[in-house]
A and B are shown apart, each in its own frame.
Chain A
Protein backbone atom coordinates (compact mmCIF):
# COMPACT_ATOMS: atom_id res chain seq x y z
CA UNK A 1 0.00 0.00 0.00
CA UNK A 2 2.71 2.46 0.92
CA UNK A 3 4.69 1.56 -2.18
CA UNK A 4 1.61 2.27 -4.20
CA UNK A 5 1.15 5.62 -2.53
CA UNK A 6 4.75 6.48 -3.20
CA UNK A 7 4.36 5.59 -6.85
CA UNK A 8 1.22 7.70 -7.15
CA UNK A 9 3.07 10.57 -5.54
CA UNK A 10 5.95 10.25 -7.97
CA UNK A 11 3.60 10.14 -10.92
CA UNK A 12 1.84 13.22 -9.67
CA UNK A 13 5.12 15.01 -9.20
CA UNK A 14 6.20 14.08 -12.72
CA UNK A 15 2.94 15.32 -14.13
CA UNK A 16 3.21 18.59 -12.25
CA UNK A 17 6.72 19.22 -13.55
CA UNK A 18 5.45 18.53 -17.02
CA UNK A 19 2.57 20.89 -16.58
CA UNK A 20 4.92 23.53 -15.23
CA UNK A 21 7.39 23.25 -18.08
CA UNK A 22 4.71 23.83 -20.67
CA UNK A 23 2.44 26.22 -18.89
CA UNK A 24 4.95 28.20 -16.88
CA UNK A 25 6.61 30.28 -19.58
CA UNK A 26 3.19 31.41 -20.66
CA UNK A 27 2.06 32.17 -17.12
CA UNK A 28 5.36 33.93 -16.55
CA UNK A 29 4.63 36.04 -19.60
CA UNK A 30 1.21 36.85 -18.22
CA UNK A 31 2.74 37.91 -14.90
CA UNK A 32 5.38 39.99 -16.65
CA UNK A 33 2.76 41.77 -18.69
CA UNK A 34 1.10 42.91 -15.47
CA UNK A 35 4.30 44.30 -13.92
CA UNK A 36 5.91 47.67 -14.21
CA UNK A 37 9.21 47.72 -16.07
CA UNK A 38 10.98 48.27 -12.74
CA UNK A 39 9.41 45.20 -11.19
CA UNK A 40 10.40 43.12 -14.20
CA UNK A 41 14.07 43.84 -13.69
CA UNK A 42 13.97 43.41 -9.92
CA UNK A 43 16.27 40.77 -8.54
CA UNK A 44 15.31 38.43 -7.02
CA UNK A 45 12.15 38.42 -9.14
CA UNK A 46 9.01 39.55 -7.42
CA UNK A 47 6.20 37.07 -7.27
CA UNK A 48 4.10 39.44 -5.24
CA UNK A 49 3.69 42.83 -6.83
CA UNK A 50 1.04 45.37 -7.57
CA UNK A 51 -0.47 44.38 -10.91
CA UNK A 52 -0.96 47.11 -13.47
CA UNK A 53 -2.75 47.30 -16.78
CA UNK A 54 -0.54 50.15 -17.91
CA UNK A 55 1.35 47.95 -20.37
CA UNK A 56 -1.85 46.89 -22.07
CA UNK A 57 -3.03 50.50 -22.22
CA UNK A 58 0.28 51.48 -23.74
CA UNK A 59 0.47 48.80 -26.43
CA UNK A 60 -3.16 49.26 -27.41
CA UNK A 61 -3.56 53.02 -27.23
CA UNK A 62 -0.06 54.41 -26.76
CA UNK A 63 2.25 55.93 -29.33
CA UNK A 64 3.34 52.53 -30.68
CA UNK A 65 -0.14 51.04 -30.66
CA UNK A 66 -0.47 47.54 -32.11
CA UNK A 67 -4.13 48.05 -33.01
CA UNK A 68 -3.36 48.69 -36.70
CA UNK A 69 -1.26 45.53 -36.70
CA UNK A 70 -4.03 43.52 -35.11
CA UNK A 71 -6.30 44.82 -37.82
CA UNK A 72 -3.82 43.82 -40.53
CA UNK A 73 -3.50 40.35 -39.04
CA UNK A 74 -7.25 40.04 -38.82
CA UNK A 75 -7.83 41.11 -42.42
CA UNK A 76 -5.12 38.87 -43.85
CA UNK A 77 -6.03 35.89 -41.70
CA UNK A 78 -9.79 36.33 -41.99
CA UNK A 79 -9.93 36.68 -45.75
CA UNK A 80 -7.37 33.93 -46.23
CA UNK A 81 -9.47 31.63 -44.07
CA UNK A 82 -12.70 32.35 -45.91
CA UNK A 83 -11.15 31.95 -49.36
CA UNK A 84 -9.32 28.81 -48.30
CA UNK A 85 -12.49 27.16 -47.08
CA UNK A 86 -14.43 28.17 -50.18
CA UNK A 87 -11.79 26.55 -52.36
CA UNK A 88 -10.87 23.62 -50.13
CA UNK A 89 -14.29 22.15 -49.33
CA UNK A 90 -15.37 21.54 -52.96
CA UNK A 91 -11.92 20.28 -53.88
CA UNK A 92 -11.88 17.95 -50.88
CA UNK A 93 -15.32 16.64 -51.82
CA UNK A 94 -14.13 15.88 -55.33
CA UNK A 95 -11.09 14.07 -53.95
CA UNK A 96 -12.98 12.20 -51.24
CA UNK A 97 -16.07 11.14 -53.11
CA UNK A 98 -16.32 11.84 -56.78
CA UNK A 99 -14.91 10.13 -59.82
CA UNK A 100 -12.29 12.80 -60.37
CA UNK A 101 -10.04 12.13 -63.35
CA UNK A 102 -6.48 11.64 -62.12
CA UNK A 103 -7.67 11.44 -58.53
CA UNK A 104 -4.59 9.73 -57.13
CA UNK A 105 -2.10 12.05 -58.72
CA UNK A 106 -4.31 15.03 -57.86
CA UNK A 107 -4.29 14.01 -54.21
CA UNK A 108 -0.57 13.41 -54.27
CA UNK A 109 -0.01 16.76 -55.88
CA UNK A 110 -1.89 18.55 -53.12
CA UNK A 111 0.17 16.63 -50.59
CA UNK A 112 3.46 17.46 -52.26
CA UNK A 113 2.69 21.18 -52.32
CA UNK A 114 2.21 20.99 -48.58
CA UNK A 115 5.74 19.75 -48.04
CA UNK A 116 7.57 22.64 -49.65
CA UNK A 117 9.49 24.64 -47.04
CA UNK A 118 8.42 28.30 -47.04
CA UNK A 119 11.97 29.56 -47.25
CA UNK A 120 12.21 27.75 -50.57
CA UNK A 121 9.32 29.73 -52.01
CA UNK A 122 9.82 33.12 -50.48
CA UNK A 123 12.31 34.31 -53.11
CA UNK A 124 10.04 33.77 -56.13
CA UNK A 125 7.10 35.18 -54.18
CA UNK A 126 9.11 38.28 -53.40
CA UNK A 127 10.32 38.73 -56.97
CA UNK A 128 6.88 38.20 -58.48
CA UNK A 129 5.02 40.43 -56.04
CA UNK A 130 7.67 43.09 -56.54
CA UNK A 131 7.21 42.93 -60.30
CA UNK A 132 3.41 43.22 -60.15
CA UNK A 133 3.58 45.85 -57.42
CA UNK A 134 1.83 43.74 -54.80
CA UNK A 135 4.45 43.92 -52.09
CA UNK A 136 3.02 45.31 -48.87
CA UNK A 137 -0.57 44.89 -50.06
CA UNK A 138 -3.43 42.83 -48.70
CA UNK A 139 -4.09 41.13 -52.01
CA UNK A 140 -0.45 40.06 -52.29
CA UNK A 141 -0.30 38.67 -48.77
CA UNK A 142 -3.62 36.86 -49.06
CA UNK A 143 -2.68 35.31 -52.40
CA UNK A 144 0.49 33.89 -50.86
CA UNK A 145 -1.24 32.79 -47.67
CA UNK A 146 -3.69 30.77 -49.74
CA UNK A 147 -0.86 28.64 -51.07
CA UNK A 148 0.07 27.25 -47.69
CA UNK A 149 -3.43 27.13 -46.20
CA UNK A 150 -5.07 25.26 -49.03
CA UNK A 151 -3.25 21.91 -49.06
CA UNK A 152 -3.69 21.46 -45.33
CA UNK A 153 -7.36 22.44 -45.44
CA UNK A 154 -8.04 20.13 -48.36
CA UNK A 155 -6.52 17.12 -46.66
CA UNK A 156 -8.22 17.76 -43.36
CA UNK A 157 -11.58 18.12 -45.09
CA UNK A 158 -10.99 14.95 -47.12
CA UNK A 159 -10.56 13.01 -43.90
CA UNK A 160 -13.84 14.36 -42.53
CA UNK A 161 -15.75 13.87 -45.77
CA UNK A 162 -14.57 10.29 -46.07
CA UNK A 163 -16.35 9.57 -42.79
CA UNK A 164 -19.77 10.45 -44.21
CA UNK A 165 -21.51 7.22 -45.21
CA UNK A 166 -21.70 6.91 -48.97
CA UNK A 167 -25.28 5.69 -48.77
CA UNK A 168 -26.34 9.05 -47.39
CA UNK A 169 -25.20 10.70 -50.55
CA UNK A 170 -26.84 8.06 -52.71
CA UNK A 171 -30.10 8.46 -50.83
CA UNK A 172 -30.01 12.18 -51.53
CA UNK A 173 -29.28 11.61 -55.21
CA UNK A 174 -32.25 9.23 -55.41
CA UNK A 175 -34.33 11.80 -53.55
CA UNK A 176 -33.80 14.04 -56.57
CA UNK A 177 -31.50 16.50 -54.83
CA UNK A 178 -28.96 16.59 -57.66
CA UNK A 179 -25.24 16.83 -57.03
CA UNK A 180 -25.03 20.41 -55.82
CA UNK A 181 -27.93 20.22 -53.40
CA UNK A 182 -26.71 16.84 -52.17
CA UNK A 183 -23.45 18.49 -51.26
CA UNK A 184 -25.08 21.56 -49.69
CA UNK A 185 -28.02 20.04 -47.84
CA UNK A 186 -26.88 16.54 -46.98
CA UNK A 187 -23.09 16.22 -46.99
CA UNK A 188 -21.96 19.56 -45.61
CA UNK A 189 -24.36 19.65 -42.64
CA UNK A 190 -22.85 16.35 -41.51
CA UNK A 191 -19.30 17.66 -41.53
CA UNK A 192 -20.13 20.91 -39.74
CA UNK A 193 -17.76 19.93 -36.96
CA UNK A 194 -15.02 19.17 -39.43
CA UNK A 195 -15.55 22.46 -41.22
CA UNK A 196 -15.35 24.32 -37.91
CA UNK A 197 -12.15 22.54 -36.91
CA UNK A 198 -10.56 23.05 -40.31
CA UNK A 199 -11.49 26.72 -40.24
CA UNK A 200 -9.88 27.06 -36.82
CA UNK A 201 -6.70 25.38 -37.99
CA UNK A 202 -6.44 27.47 -41.12
CA UNK A 203 -6.97 30.57 -39.02
CA UNK A 204 -4.33 29.47 -36.50
CA UNK A 205 -1.74 28.74 -39.18
CA UNK A 206 -2.33 32.01 -40.97
CA UNK A 207 -2.37 34.05 -37.76
CA UNK A 208 0.91 32.50 -36.65
CA UNK A 209 2.71 32.90 -39.97
CA UNK A 210 5.82 35.03 -39.78
CA UNK A 211 8.26 34.57 -42.66
CA UNK A 212 5.95 35.70 -45.49
CA UNK A 213 4.57 38.48 -43.33
CA UNK A 214 7.99 39.93 -42.59
CA UNK A 215 9.28 39.69 -46.17
CA UNK A 216 6.16 40.50 -48.18
CA UNK A 217 4.59 43.00 -45.77
CA UNK A 218 5.76 46.48 -44.94
CA UNK A 219 4.49 49.71 -43.49
CA UNK A 220 0.96 49.32 -44.80
CA UNK A 221 0.43 45.63 -44.07
CA UNK A 222 2.28 44.71 -40.93
CA UNK A 223 0.88 41.82 -38.98
CA UNK A 224 1.00 41.75 -35.23
CA UNK A 225 3.75 39.12 -35.19
CA UNK A 226 6.00 41.32 -37.28
CA UNK A 227 5.20 44.38 -35.18
CA UNK A 228 6.16 42.51 -32.02
CA UNK A 229 9.34 41.33 -33.60
CA UNK A 230 10.24 44.90 -34.48
CA UNK A 231 9.59 45.71 -30.84
CA UNK A 232 12.63 43.75 -29.72
CA UNK A 233 14.92 44.65 -32.56
CA UNK A 234 14.25 48.35 -32.87
CA UNK A 235 13.66 49.81 -29.44
CA UNK A 236 15.59 49.05 -26.33
CA UNK A 237 13.38 46.20 -25.30
CA UNK A 238 10.62 47.01 -22.86
CA UNK A 239 9.94 43.55 -21.51
CA UNK A 240 6.64 44.17 -19.82
CA UNK A 241 5.21 45.94 -22.80
CA UNK A 242 6.37 43.21 -25.13
CA UNK A 243 4.79 40.63 -22.87
CA UNK A 244 1.51 42.53 -22.93
CA UNK A 245 1.60 42.69 -26.72
CA UNK A 246 2.40 39.00 -26.90
CA UNK A 247 -0.51 38.20 -24.61
CA UNK A 248 -2.87 40.14 -26.85
CA UNK A 249 -1.51 38.49 -29.98
CA UNK A 250 -1.72 35.05 -28.38
CA UNK A 251 -5.23 35.44 -27.04
CA UNK A 252 -7.07 34.46 -30.25
CA UNK A 253 -4.99 31.36 -30.92
CA UNK A 254 -5.21 30.16 -27.34
CA UNK A 255 -8.98 30.59 -27.32
CA UNK A 256 -9.32 28.83 -30.65
CA UNK A 257 -6.89 26.14 -29.55
CA UNK A 258 -8.95 25.43 -26.47
CA UNK A 259 -12.14 25.38 -28.53
CA UNK A 260 -10.68 22.84 -30.93
CA UNK A 261 -8.86 20.99 -28.17
CA UNK A 262 -10.40 17.60 -28.77
CA UNK A 263 -9.72 17.75 -32.49
CA UNK A 264 -6.20 19.01 -32.34
CA UNK A 265 -4.56 15.62 -32.42
CA UNK A 266 -6.62 14.59 -35.39
CA UNK A 267 -5.95 17.85 -37.17
CA UNK A 268 -2.24 17.62 -36.60
CA UNK A 269 -1.96 13.98 -37.59
CA UNK A 270 -3.94 14.42 -40.76
CA UNK A 271 -1.28 16.82 -41.79
CA UNK A 272 1.17 14.17 -40.68
CA UNK A 273 -0.38 11.19 -42.33
CA UNK A 274 -0.82 12.90 -45.61
CA UNK A 275 2.22 15.08 -45.64
CA UNK A 276 3.97 17.60 -43.48
CA UNK A 277 3.01 20.70 -41.62
CA UNK A 278 4.21 23.96 -42.92
CA UNK A 279 5.06 26.73 -40.54
Chain B
Protein backbone atom coordinates (compact mmCIF):
# COMPACT_ATOMS: atom_id res chain seq x y z
CA UNK B 1 0.00 0.00 0.00
CA UNK B 2 1.46 3.36 -0.99
CA UNK B 3 1.80 5.58 2.03
CA UNK B 4 0.67 8.83 0.49
CA UNK B 5 -2.50 7.46 -1.07
CA UNK B 6 -3.17 5.71 2.23
CA UNK B 7 -3.55 9.03 4.01
CA UNK B 8 -6.99 10.54 4.36
CA UNK B 9 -7.50 13.74 2.43
CA UNK B 10 -7.96 15.76 5.62
CA UNK B 11 -4.55 14.74 6.83
CA UNK B 12 -3.04 15.76 3.54
CA UNK B 13 -4.74 19.16 3.79
CA UNK B 14 -3.21 19.74 7.23
CA UNK B 15 0.23 18.77 5.98
CA UNK B 16 -0.05 21.13 3.08
CA UNK B 17 -1.07 23.95 5.41
CA UNK B 18 1.85 23.15 7.73
CA UNK B 19 4.27 23.22 4.82
CA UNK B 20 2.98 26.57 3.64
CA UNK B 21 3.63 28.00 7.11
CA UNK B 22 7.05 26.42 7.52
CA UNK B 23 8.54 26.77 4.06
CA UNK B 24 9.28 30.51 3.97
CA UNK B 25 11.38 30.34 7.13
CA UNK B 26 12.97 27.11 5.97
CA UNK B 27 13.96 28.62 2.64
CA UNK B 28 15.49 31.65 4.33
CA UNK B 29 17.52 29.38 6.57
CA UNK B 30 18.55 27.07 3.76
CA UNK B 31 19.65 29.92 1.54
CA UNK B 32 21.04 31.94 4.42
CA UNK B 33 22.99 29.28 6.28
CA UNK B 34 23.28 25.99 4.43
CA UNK B 35 24.19 27.26 0.99
CA UNK B 36 26.83 29.63 2.45
CA UNK B 37 28.24 26.69 4.37
CA UNK B 38 28.94 24.81 1.17
CA UNK B 39 30.24 27.96 -0.39
CA UNK B 40 32.62 28.29 2.54
CA UNK B 41 33.87 24.73 2.03
CA UNK B 42 34.41 25.49 -1.63
CA UNK B 43 36.14 28.82 -0.91
CA UNK B 44 38.54 27.08 1.47
CA UNK B 45 39.90 25.15 -1.50
CA UNK B 46 40.89 28.34 -3.32
CA UNK B 47 43.58 30.91 -3.09
CA UNK B 48 41.61 34.14 -2.63
CA UNK B 49 43.89 36.98 -1.62
CA UNK B 50 42.31 40.39 -2.15
CA UNK B 51 45.62 42.13 -1.64
CA UNK B 52 47.21 40.01 -4.36
CA UNK B 53 44.28 39.13 -6.64
CA UNK B 54 46.55 37.95 -9.47
CA UNK B 55 47.55 34.95 -7.36
CA UNK B 56 43.98 33.67 -7.01
CA UNK B 57 43.25 30.19 -8.28
CA UNK B 58 42.25 26.72 -7.29
CA UNK B 59 44.47 25.49 -4.48
CA UNK B 60 43.04 22.14 -3.48
CA UNK B 61 43.98 21.28 0.06
CA UNK B 62 46.88 23.71 0.10
CA UNK B 63 45.25 25.96 2.70
CA UNK B 64 44.79 23.03 5.04
CA UNK B 65 48.36 21.85 4.54
CA UNK B 66 49.54 25.34 5.32
CA UNK B 67 47.48 25.37 8.49
CA UNK B 68 49.15 22.24 9.88
CA UNK B 69 52.51 24.00 9.71
CA UNK B 70 51.20 27.36 10.95
CA UNK B 71 52.31 28.05 14.56
CA UNK B 72 49.85 30.96 14.76
CA UNK B 73 47.00 28.55 14.03
CA UNK B 74 48.10 26.15 16.75
CA UNK B 75 48.49 29.08 19.12
CA UNK B 76 44.95 30.25 18.36
CA UNK B 77 43.60 26.74 18.80
CA UNK B 78 45.25 26.46 22.21
CA UNK B 79 43.89 29.86 23.23
CA UNK B 80 40.40 28.82 22.11
CA UNK B 81 40.57 25.77 24.37
CA UNK B 82 41.84 27.81 27.33
CA UNK B 83 39.33 30.60 26.74
CA UNK B 84 36.32 28.31 26.30
CA UNK B 85 37.24 25.95 29.12
CA UNK B 86 38.06 28.58 31.71
CA UNK B 87 35.13 30.90 30.98
CA UNK B 88 32.64 28.03 31.14
CA UNK B 89 34.06 26.68 34.39
CA UNK B 90 34.14 30.13 35.99
CA UNK B 91 30.63 30.94 34.89
CA UNK B 92 29.20 27.74 36.31
CA UNK B 93 31.16 27.74 39.56
CA UNK B 94 30.72 31.43 40.34
CA UNK B 95 27.12 31.39 39.14
CA UNK B 96 26.31 28.43 41.36
CA UNK B 97 28.03 29.97 44.37
CA UNK B 98 26.23 33.25 43.94
CA UNK B 99 22.88 31.58 43.43
CA UNK B 100 23.28 29.59 46.64
CA UNK B 101 24.24 32.77 48.45
CA UNK B 102 21.44 34.89 47.07
CA UNK B 103 18.84 32.24 47.78
CA UNK B 104 19.43 32.85 51.47
CA UNK B 105 18.87 36.56 51.25
CA UNK B 106 15.31 37.17 52.34
CA UNK B 107 14.93 40.53 50.63
CA UNK B 108 16.46 42.39 47.73
CA UNK B 109 16.56 39.43 45.35
CA UNK B 110 14.66 41.44 42.78
CA UNK B 111 17.27 44.20 42.77
CA UNK B 112 20.00 41.62 42.29
CA UNK B 113 18.15 40.05 39.44
CA UNK B 114 17.89 43.39 37.71
CA UNK B 115 21.58 44.06 38.26
CA UNK B 116 22.33 40.64 36.80
CA UNK B 117 20.36 41.35 33.67
CA UNK B 118 22.36 44.47 32.85
CA UNK B 119 25.50 42.74 31.56
CA UNK B 120 23.48 40.14 29.68
CA UNK B 121 21.57 42.62 27.55
CA UNK B 122 24.61 44.70 26.66
CA UNK B 123 26.30 44.26 23.31
CA UNK B 124 29.56 42.32 23.74
CA UNK B 125 31.33 44.96 21.69
CA UNK B 126 30.14 47.66 24.08
CA UNK B 127 31.25 45.54 27.03
CA UNK B 128 34.68 45.13 25.47
CA UNK B 129 34.98 48.85 24.95
CA UNK B 130 33.75 49.60 28.42
CA UNK B 131 36.38 47.45 30.01
CA UNK B 132 39.06 48.75 27.70
CA UNK B 133 38.31 52.40 28.33
CA UNK B 134 36.87 52.55 31.84
CA UNK B 135 37.88 49.48 33.82
CA UNK B 136 41.26 48.32 32.63
CA UNK B 137 43.39 51.30 31.60
CA UNK B 138 46.37 51.83 33.91
CA UNK B 139 46.18 54.65 36.45
CA UNK B 140 42.60 55.83 36.03
CA UNK B 141 40.75 52.59 35.18
CA UNK B 142 38.35 51.24 37.77
CA UNK B 143 40.30 48.04 38.36
CA UNK B 144 43.63 49.81 38.64
CA UNK B 145 42.16 52.16 41.22
CA UNK B 146 41.07 49.16 43.26
CA UNK B 147 44.41 47.34 43.03
CA UNK B 148 46.29 50.51 43.90
CA UNK B 149 44.04 51.15 46.86
CA UNK B 150 44.68 47.59 48.02
CA UNK B 151 48.44 48.15 47.64
CA UNK B 152 48.77 45.69 44.74
CA UNK B 153 50.17 48.30 42.42
CA UNK B 154 49.28 49.36 38.91
CA UNK B 155 49.29 46.92 36.02
CA UNK B 156 49.09 47.14 32.28
CA UNK B 157 46.05 44.88 32.11
CA UNK B 158 45.68 44.79 28.37
CA UNK B 159 49.25 45.45 27.37
CA UNK B 160 50.93 42.56 29.13
CA UNK B 161 50.39 39.32 27.13
CA UNK B 162 49.55 37.11 30.10
CA UNK B 163 47.43 39.70 31.88
CA UNK B 164 45.63 40.40 28.59
CA UNK B 165 44.48 36.79 28.35
CA UNK B 166 43.33 36.89 31.97
CA UNK B 167 41.56 40.15 31.21
CA UNK B 168 39.57 38.89 28.22
CA UNK B 169 38.60 35.78 30.18
CA UNK B 170 37.48 38.06 33.02
CA UNK B 171 35.45 40.22 30.67
CA UNK B 172 33.61 37.25 29.25
CA UNK B 173 33.06 35.82 32.73
CA UNK B 174 31.78 39.16 33.98
CA UNK B 175 29.27 39.49 31.17
CA UNK B 176 27.89 35.97 31.19
CA UNK B 177 28.08 34.72 34.78
CA UNK B 178 24.77 36.51 35.44
CA UNK B 179 23.22 34.17 32.91
CA UNK B 180 24.23 31.00 34.72
CA UNK B 181 23.43 32.70 38.01
CA UNK B 182 19.88 33.49 36.89
CA UNK B 183 19.25 30.05 35.43
CA UNK B 184 20.59 28.27 38.51
CA UNK B 185 18.71 30.61 40.82
CA UNK B 186 15.49 29.86 38.95
CA UNK B 187 16.00 26.12 39.11
CA UNK B 188 16.99 26.25 42.79
CA UNK B 189 13.89 28.25 43.58
CA UNK B 190 11.79 25.65 41.77
CA UNK B 191 13.05 22.75 43.88
CA UNK B 192 10.40 21.27 46.16
CA UNK B 193 11.09 22.41 49.74
CA UNK B 194 9.78 19.20 51.32
CA UNK B 195 12.79 17.27 50.02
CA UNK B 196 15.09 19.54 51.99
CA UNK B 197 12.89 19.35 55.04
CA UNK B 198 12.93 15.58 54.83
CA UNK B 199 16.73 15.63 54.52
CA UNK B 200 16.94 17.91 57.49
CA UNK B 201 14.82 15.56 59.53
CA UNK B 202 17.15 12.78 58.37
CA UNK B 203 19.93 14.81 59.98
CA UNK B 204 21.86 15.60 56.81
CA UNK B 205 24.08 18.62 57.31
CA UNK B 206 24.20 21.54 54.90
CA UNK B 207 27.14 20.19 52.91
CA UNK B 208 25.58 16.77 52.54
CA UNK B 209 22.27 18.30 51.55
CA UNK B 210 24.09 20.21 48.84
CA UNK B 211 26.05 17.22 47.52
CA UNK B 212 23.31 14.61 47.71
CA UNK B 213 20.18 16.61 47.01
CA UNK B 214 20.72 20.05 45.55
CA UNK B 215 23.41 19.20 43.06
CA UNK B 216 21.75 16.12 41.55
CA UNK B 217 18.45 17.97 41.25
CA UNK B 218 19.88 20.94 39.38
CA UNK B 219 22.19 18.85 37.24
CA UNK B 220 19.96 19.18 34.16
CA UNK B 221 20.09 22.97 34.46
CA UNK B 222 23.86 22.89 34.80
CA UNK B 223 24.16 20.62 31.78
CA UNK B 224 22.13 23.09 29.76
CA UNK B 225 24.28 25.97 30.94
CA UNK B 226 27.50 24.18 30.07
CA UNK B 227 26.30 23.30 26.59
CA UNK B 228 25.03 26.74 25.84
CA UNK B 229 27.96 28.62 27.32
CA UNK B 230 30.41 26.47 25.39
CA UNK B 231 28.65 27.31 22.16
CA UNK B 232 28.69 31.00 22.96
CA UNK B 233 32.32 30.96 24.09
CA UNK B 234 33.30 29.17 20.89
CA UNK B 235 31.71 31.92 18.85
CA UNK B 236 32.93 34.78 21.06
CA UNK B 237 34.32 37.60 19.02
CA UNK B 238 33.17 41.15 19.58
CA UNK B 239 34.25 41.64 23.20
CA UNK B 240 37.82 40.48 22.57
CA UNK B 241 37.92 42.35 19.30
CA UNK B 242 36.97 45.57 21.04
CA UNK B 243 39.17 45.05 24.10
CA UNK B 244 42.43 43.82 22.58
CA UNK B 245 41.81 43.11 18.91
CA UNK B 246 43.53 39.78 19.57
CA UNK B 247 46.68 41.39 20.87
CA UNK B 248 49.10 42.29 22.18
CA UNK B 249 50.67 40.35 19.33
CA UNK B 250 48.63 37.17 19.26
CA UNK B 251 48.21 36.86 23.03
CA UNK B 252 44.40 36.86 22.92
CA UNK B 253 43.94 35.69 19.36
CA UNK B 254 41.47 32.82 19.66
CA UNK B 255 40.53 30.98 16.48
CA UNK B 256 37.65 33.35 15.75
CA UNK B 257 39.94 36.34 15.87
CA UNK B 258 42.58 34.64 13.77
CA UNK B 259 40.08 33.69 11.06
CA UNK B 260 38.72 37.22 11.06
CA UNK B 261 42.11 38.91 10.95
CA UNK B 262 43.33 36.62 8.18
CA UNK B 263 40.23 37.29 6.11
CA UNK B 264 39.56 40.95 6.70
CA UNK B 265 42.84 42.46 7.85
CA UNK B 266 45.25 40.45 5.72
CA UNK B 267 42.49 39.98 3.12
CA UNK B 268 43.52 36.36 2.63
CA UNK B 269 39.98 35.01 2.29
CA UNK B 270 40.93 31.55 1.07
CA UNK B 271 43.04 30.76 4.10
CA UNK B 272 40.50 32.51 6.32
CA UNK B 273 37.80 30.24 4.91
CA UNK B 274 39.89 27.17 5.74
CA UNK B 275 40.30 28.44 9.31
CA UNK B 276 36.55 29.05 9.49
CA UNK B 277 35.90 25.49 8.31
CA UNK B 278 38.05 24.18 11.16
CA UNK B 279 36.16 26.41 13.58
CA UNK B 280 32.82 25.10 12.32
CA UNK B 281 34.03 21.53 12.54
CA UNK B 282 35.12 22.04 16.14
CA UNK B 283 31.83 23.68 17.06
CA UNK B 284 29.78 20.91 15.50
CA UNK B 285 31.94 18.25 17.10
CA UNK B 286 31.67 19.83 20.53
CA UNK B 287 27.91 20.31 20.27
CA UNK B 288 27.50 16.74 19.08
CA UNK B 289 29.56 15.41 21.98
CA UNK B 290 27.73 17.62 24.44
CA UNK B 291 24.32 16.45 23.33
CA UNK B 292 25.49 12.85 23.40
CA UNK B 293 26.77 13.32 26.94
CA UNK B 294 23.58 15.00 28.00
CA UNK B 295 21.45 12.25 26.57
CA UNK B 296 23.64 9.66 28.27
CA UNK B 297 23.34 11.45 31.63
CA of A43 to CA of B98, assembled, Å: 34
Instruction: Tell me if A168 counts as interface (CB < 8 A to partner B).
Output: no
Query: Interface readout for A211-243 with B: 1 if CB under 8 Å, 0 if not?
Result: 100010000000001001100100001010011
Contact B237 A211 (CB under 8 A): yes
Residues of chain A at the chain B interface (Cβ within 8 Å): 11-12, 14-15, 18-19, 21-26, 28-29, 32, 40-41, 43-45, 87-88, 90-91, 93-95, 98-101, 106, 109-110, 113, 115-128, 143-144, 146-147, 150-151, 154, 179, 204, 207-211, 215, 225, 228-229, 232, 237, 239, 242-243, 246, 249-250, 253-254, 256-258, 261, 264-265, 268-269, 271-273, 275-279
With A18-B112, A147-B28, A150-B29 as known contacts, state yes or no: A98 contacts B132, CB within 8 Å.
Answer: no
B118 contacts which chain A residues (CB < 8 A)?
Answer: 22-23, 26, 254, 257
- Complex partner residue of B29 from A101, A147, A211, CB under 8 angstroms: A147
Contact A143 B32 (CB under 8 A): yes
- Count CB-based A-B contacts (< 8 Å): 282
- Complex partner residue of A272 from B11, B48, B228, B241, CB under 8 angstroms: B228
Contact A276 B231 (CB under 8 A): yes
Contact A123 B25 (CB under 8 A): no
Contact B134 A113 (CB under 8 A): no
With A25-B142, A243-B134 as known contacts, state yes or no: A122 contacts B260, CB within 8 Å.
Answer: yes
CA of A254 to CA of B123, assembled, Å: 10
B28 contacts which chain A residues (CB < 8 A)?
Answer: 87, 146-147, 150
With A113-B29, A119-B279 as known contacts, state yes or no: A23 contacts B115, CB within 8 Å.
Answer: yes
Contact B260 A128 (CB under 8 A): no
Contact B116 A22 (CB under 8 A): yes
Contact B224 A123 (CB under 8 A): no
Within 8 A of A (CB), among B84-124: 98, 101-102, 104-105, 108, 111-124
Q: Considering only CB atoms, which chain A residue lies closest to B269 in the complex? A: A123
Instruction: Tell me if B168 counts as interface (CB < 8 A to partner A).
Output: no
Contact B36 A250 (CB under 8 A): no
Q: Considering only CB atoms, which chain B residue lies closest to A266 in the complex? A: B186
Contact B123 A127 (CB under 8 A): no
With A87-B24, A127-B39, A264-B117 as known contacts, state yes or no: A32 contacts B11, CB within 8 Å.
Answer: no
Sample 22 A-B pairs with CB under 8 A, ordered by A number. A19-B112, A24-B142, A87-B25, A106-B22, A117-B280, A118-B235, A123-B43, A179-B17, A207-B123, A210-B124, A211-B260, A229-B242, A242-B129, A246-B126, A254-B122, A258-B114, A268-B179, A268-B182, A275-B228, A276-B235, A277-B231, A279-B124
Residues of chain B at the chain A interface (Cβ within 8 Å): 11, 14-15, 17-19, 21-22, 24-26, 28-29, 32-34, 36-37, 39-40, 43, 48, 98, 101-102, 104-105, 108, 111-126, 129-135, 139-140, 142, 145, 174, 178-179, 182-183, 186, 221, 224-225, 227-228, 230-232, 234-238, 241-242, 256, 259-260, 263-264, 269, 272-273, 276-277, 279-280, 283-284, 287
Shortest beta-carbon distance from A190 to chain B in Å: 17
A271 contacts which chain B residues (CB < 8 A)?
Answer: 228
Nearest 5 A/B pairs, CB to CB: A276-B231, A147-B32, A257-B121, A117-B235, A208-B123
B121 contacts which chain A residues (CB < 8 A)?
Answer: 204, 208, 253-254, 256-257, 264
Q: Counting chain B CB atoms within 10 Å of each CB, which of A44, A88, A98, A209 scores highest?
A: A98
Shortest beta-carbon distance from B25 to chain A in Å: 4
Q: Considering only CB atoms, which chain B residue lies closest to A83 in the complex? A: B28
Shortest beta-carbon distance from A38 to chain B in Å: 12
Q: Considering only CB atoms, which chain A residue lies closest to B119 in the complex? A: A22
- Complex partner residue of A211 from B120, B131, B238, CB under 8 angstroms: B238
With A43-B140, A253-B121, A264-B117 as known contacts, state yes or no: A210 contacts B14, CB within 8 Å.
Answer: no
CA of A158 to CA of B22, assembled, Å: 12
With A128-B36, A143-B32, A256-B121 as known contacts, state yes or no: A15 contacts B231, CB within 8 Å.
Answer: no
A90 contacts which chain B residues (CB < 8 A)?
Answer: 21-22, 24-25
Contact A100 B287 (CB under 8 A): no
With A124-B37, A208-B123, A264-B120 as known contacts, state yes or no: A43 contacts B139, CB within 8 Å.
Answer: yes
Contact A100 B18 (CB under 8 A): yes
A154 contacts which chain B residues (CB < 8 A)?
Answer: 25
B236 contacts which chain A residues (CB < 8 A)?
Answer: 279
A110 contacts which chain B residues (CB < 8 A)?
Answer: 25, 29
B17 contacts which chain A residues (CB < 8 A)?
Answer: 98, 179
B102 contacts which chain A residues (CB < 8 A)?
Answer: 15, 18
CA of A226 to CA of B243, assembled, Å: 14
